[in-house]
A and B are shown apart, each in its own frame.
Chain A
Amino acid sequence: MIQVHKLSKAFTVHKKDPGLLGSVRSLFRREQVVKQAVREVSLSIEEGEIVGLIGANGAGKTTLIKMLAGIIVPSAGEATVLGHVPWKRDDRFRQQIALIMGQKAQLWWDLPAADCFLLLKEIYRLPEAQYRETLDYLTEVLGVREQLNIQIRRLSLGERMKMELLAALLHSPRVVFLDEPTIGLDLTAQRAIREFILQYREQHRPAMLVTSHYMEDIQRLCERILIIREGELIYDGSLRQVMEKFATHKRITVHLRPDKPVPELSAELRALGEVLQRDAELVKVEVPRADVPAASAKLLQELPAADLVIDELDIGTVIERILSQRAEVPASELPASEPSAS
């Protein structure tokens, strides 16, 4: 459904020195800075797939989504979504996609949601019966019936996000782009939105591309993730595989008794694994799975322990490592553009 081949986007920004003098100077000599936001990204996404797009701030996630939704034109490369080139903005293409941005309202601030939906009904030319049915269903599921007649600007962030989601799905799009749909929401609202997205997937089998900085979202929604670093796609594959690859290690945390001095760790113990943290309160080491019993015993023996916890690396840590280049991704797991029939 989504095919992307070597897509790149460079922004040209005119640099301006601060202050009045800077403004005057820039009248005569404008310094241009080229910012490569997305570099030769290739990928493909199928029907019914929810793919997570992960990366640090400024990695190029939003830029990639904007290109695929047809808002901006790439500087190089190709993409087709549902067989259309997005930035040609054919109505047949736009009729079938949706874009949801957690950071930026798509709905009209001054109108109550009910009016926004009526406008969307005309924009997407939805038949009355279908519109009624979808709207009833969505308001029920999202629990926003009470807020329908309140101006969007007066809604709380969570209520607004639900309205945005509802508005974006009224026309049953086959491709949905979600850029940080849960940003700033409380845990209950985040969960509600996630459940809702999953439910929508069950019923409509759309292709979805989701970005989020909340690992909970990624874990619950996506089987497949894309990791983007400085505009480059550095991982494309299943979430499970990444986790397995990094689950070779576990973490042991020893909470220390406050009344005792902190002893040095023996060389033997240090050889077993990597010491992540060591201070007056706790010692944290990461050791290969097989060495967990030995290391635990040794730690308890050497340290005045109050408590000991063993846990798996969490997905956030794994991603953080990949992003900070502490973990190299094997070449075999780099974007494999499989041919597909969409």
Chain B
Amino acid sequence: MSPRLFLQVLSLEARNRLSYRAEFWLNALVGFGVEFAVVYFLWSSMFRESGKQEIGGFDLQGMVTYYLAVILLGKLVRTQRFEGGVSTDIYEGGLNRYLVFPAGYFPFKYAQHLGGLVPAVVQFLLFALVVAFFLDVPPELRPSPTSALMALAAIAVANLLYYLLDYAIQLVAFWADNVWSLDVAKWFVASLLGGFMVPLSVFPAWLVPWLEALPFRFFFDFPARVLLGQIEPAEWARGLVVALAWCGVLALVGRGVWRRGVEQYAGVGI
């Protein structure tokens, strides 16, 4: 696919999404507030009940900051569901058009996905401003320009990795009547083992090598820690290489699944 086509698909999708009404933005803001409040009260009471000063290497303020980072960057990593998703294309026959066009399906969908991310980027910046002005972030966790740049790369890779995982799972629609349960399972595993539900340092020590061997930590834990300046440049570079290798693996899996699936696609919906 030519870069021009890629950019055009991306910008069309972005324009389309940005035309949402004000209530969309209001909902996002309220959602963010609620999510954050839940985490805040949950962890305050955990710290109070347990009487501990530190859990998984964070004190209460640090823990809250970690969640702020994860919730914010999670918006840039997670795939936002929309009509033109891969499984919908398969179920409703929207795939047909892409099979007739002389353009690849994956790049087309990825461009759409990135275009759909534009409102999320706006949200991210908006909320980041709110956080910077109104909330009290401990000085040692404040992002420096360097850590912000490093985090940008980590988030971009996390986004690609997450999309590739999502894509491979959505393709199961070629065989299954419904991929909803797989989707839920994916989110559960990714958020638990990826550092969205709890920081990975909270898990018992013997589990940590396992978690580090899996790709999930690159979704949330890794970019959040990079953003909070907890990761040295050397470790950051190593992490990116490993994450990109995982991207390669998932891309190969996705390609294999696609080839098999499209071979027995019945072209429904006409």
Binary CB contact string for chain A from 39 to 60 against chain B (1 if under 8 A, 0 otherwise): 0000000000000000000000
CB pair A115 B102 closer than 8 Å: no
What is the CB-to-nearest-CB distance from B266 to chain A, in angstroms, rounded to a whole number? 6
CB pair A111 B16 closer than 8 Å: yes
Contacts of A119 in B (CB 8 A): 5, 8-9, 12
Provided the pairs A110-B16, A111-B12 are in contact, do residues A94 and B101 lie with their beta carbons within 8 angstroms?
Answer: yes
What is the CB-to-nearest-CB distance from A115 to chain B, in angstroms, rounded to a whole number? 6
What is the CB-to-nearest-CB distance from A150 to chain B, in angstroms, rounded to a whole number? 14
CB pair A101 B265 closer than 8 Å: no
A11: which of B84, B93, B266 is its contact (CB, 8 Å)? B266
CB pair B100 A71 closer than 8 Å: yes
CB of A69 closer than 8 Å to a CB of B = yes
What is the CB-to-nearest-CB distance from A3 to chain B, in angstroms, rounded to a whole number? 20
A72→B95 CA distance, assembly (Å): 11
CB pair A123 B103 closer than 8 Å: yes
CB pair B12 A123 closer than 8 Å: no
A106→B270 CA distance, assembly (Å): 11
List residues 62-120 of chain A with CB under 8 A from any CB of chain B: 62, 66, 69-73, 89, 91-92, 94-95, 97-99, 101, 103-104, 106, 108, 110-111, 115, 118-119
CB of A125 closer than 8 Å to a CB of B = yes
Contacts of A106 in B (CB 8 A): 96-97, 100
CB pair B269 A118 closer than 8 Å: no
Contacts of B9 in A (CB 8 A): 119
Contacts of B93 in A (CB 8 A): 104
CB pair B4 A70 closer than 8 Å: no
CB of A122 closer than 8 Å to a CB of B = yes
CB of B267 closer than 8 Å to a CB of A = yes
CB of B263 closer than 8 Å to a CB of A = yes
A86→B122 CA distance, assembly (Å): 43
CB pair B2 A122 closer than 8 Å: yes
Provided the pairs A71-B100, A89-B99, A91-B102 are in contact, do residues A104 and B266 lie with their beta carbons within 8 angstroms?
Answer: no
CB of B264 closer than 8 Å to a CB of A = yes
A89→B267 CA distance, assembly (Å): 14
Binary CB contact string for chain B from 240 to 270 against chain A (1 if under 8 A, 0 otherwise): 0000000000000000000000011111011
Provided the pairs A104-B93, A122-B5, A125-B2 are in contact, do residues A72 and B12 lie with their beta carbons within 8 angstroms?
Answer: no
List residues 62-106 of chain B with CB under 8 A from any CB of chain A: 84, 93, 96-97, 99-103
A70→B2 CA distance, assembly (Å): 22
CB pair A179 B270 closer than 8 Å: yes
How many residues belonging to A are interface residues under a CB distance threshold of 8 Å? 31
What is the CB-to-nearest-CB distance from B146 to chain A, in angstroms, rounded to a whole number? 38
A66→B265 CA distance, assembly (Å): 11
A101: which of B2, B16, B270 is its contact (CB, 8 Å)? B270
Contacts of B265 in A (CB 8 A): 71-73
Residue among A70, A119, A179 having the largest count of chain B Cβ atoms under 10 Å: A119
Closest to A124 in B: B102
CB pair A72 B269 closer than 8 Å: no
What is the CB-to-nearest-CB distance from B236 to chain A, in angstroms, rounded to a whole number? 36
List residues 90-129 of chain B with CB under 8 A from any CB of chain A: 93, 96-97, 99-103
Can you list 13 pairs linking A and B with CB atoms under 8 Å apart? A11-B266, A70-B99, A70-B100, A71-B99, A71-B100, A71-B265, A73-B264, A73-B265, A108-B84, A110-B16, A118-B8, A122-B5, A123-B101
17 new A-B contacts, CB < 8 A, other than A104-B93, A104-B96, are: A62-B270, A70-B100, A71-B96, A71-B267, A72-B267, A89-B99, A91-B102, A95-B102, A104-B269, A106-B97, A108-B84, A110-B16, A111-B12, A115-B12, A119-B5, A124-B102, A179-B270
Mark A residues whose CB is within 8 Å of B.
Answer: 11, 62, 66, 69-73, 89, 91-92, 94-95, 97-99, 101, 103-104, 106, 108, 110-111, 115, 118-119, 122-125, 179
In order of increasing CB-CB distance, the 8 nearest A-B pairs are A94-B102, A122-B5, A91-B102, A72-B267, A71-B267, A104-B270, A106-B97, A95-B102
